[in-house]
Amino acid sequence: MIKRTLYFGSQAYLRTNTEQMVIELSESGEIKSAPIEDIGVLILDHQQITITQSLIAKLLANNVALITCDNTHHPVGLMLNLDGHTLQSQKFQCQVEASVPLKKQLWQQTVEAKLVNQAAVLKAERINNKYILNLAQKVKSGDSDNCEAQAASYYWKYIFPDFLEFRRERYGPPPNNLLNYGYALVRAIVARGLVASGLLPTLGIFHRNQYNAYCLADDIMEPYRPFVDKIVCQIIRGNGRFLEMTPSMKKMLLEIPVMDVLIDGQKSPLMNAVQRTTASLAKCFEGKGRKILYPVLE
């Protein structure tokens, strides 16, 4: 079943009744409800949203990724379930004991998948992608030649129109804001998938920042980033250089969890594809598989 992404951008009171989330909208006085089991991601993007502790507990028990936004409307917080799998302790142990060669092989697969998807974005934008495709074929174990960085230098130089004079910087001018928002959403979806697969989002296969609680999520989301880039390219085509976040832009980005992707030869909503990716990663840690399933951008 496709889980829903619910976004709240105005004052509201959120509570629970049995297994429903009850939504009381302050402006209209309207009262709605939604089954908690149908929710995958919940985004709180208003400073006057009130949510009860009992609802938070039920959301997390159903493995909902709960995202909070700051006063600039960008995601700043993520809450996840601490007990996402019946064999969690066993899977944690396999993850902790994963060998360095295995981690390097998994990172090689991850970088290859990311570069192939970046090349697909460039192709869709009618930009020469042969350089990145060639790099994708040269990625070694652990990406020892840093093909990912080489590809990024070319990719960000050409992906957007020249008039934007774009540089990829976290706090840089638009469309960095759009990329950041989309990536934060994907990061939450991946972290949710990792927890559901019994893995610790903190222990990465490549990222190792001691201050980062989501190193593994940052690893596994890499091949999914180009799907965000694709949406941002569409937004730019429709808005030119006027790229401060608008409700219509946000609506397009919020469609990311349900956008169709191709994984293992089958079309699937991105959120479902992430679950297949994280499940395949868990099998690799357990010695039951050797390949992570990643989506291919068409």
Scored b (16 or more CB within 10 A) or e, 144-181 reads eeebbebbbebbbebbbeeeeebeeeeeeebbbbbbbb
- C-alpha to C-alpha distance for 286 and 288, rounded to whole angstroms: 5
Binding-site residues = 148, 207, 222
Q: Which two tokens mark 242?
A: 């006027």
- Residues 6 or more apart whose CB falls under 8 angstroms from that of 269 comprise 2, 257, 258, 259, 260, 261
- Binding site for Mn(2+), by residue number, is 148, 207, 222
Question: What is d(CA 142, CA 211) in angstroms, rounded to the nearest whole number?
Answer: 22
CB-CB contact of 147 with 133 (8 Å): no
Q: Which two tokens stand for residue 203?
A: 């222990």
Q: What are the tokens at 60?
A: 């997390």
Residues 6+ apart with CB under 8 A from 53: none
Rounded Cα–Cα distance for residues 75 and 296 (Å): 26
185-202 burial, b at 16+ Cβ within 10 Å, e below that, comes to bbbbbbbbbbbbbbbbbe
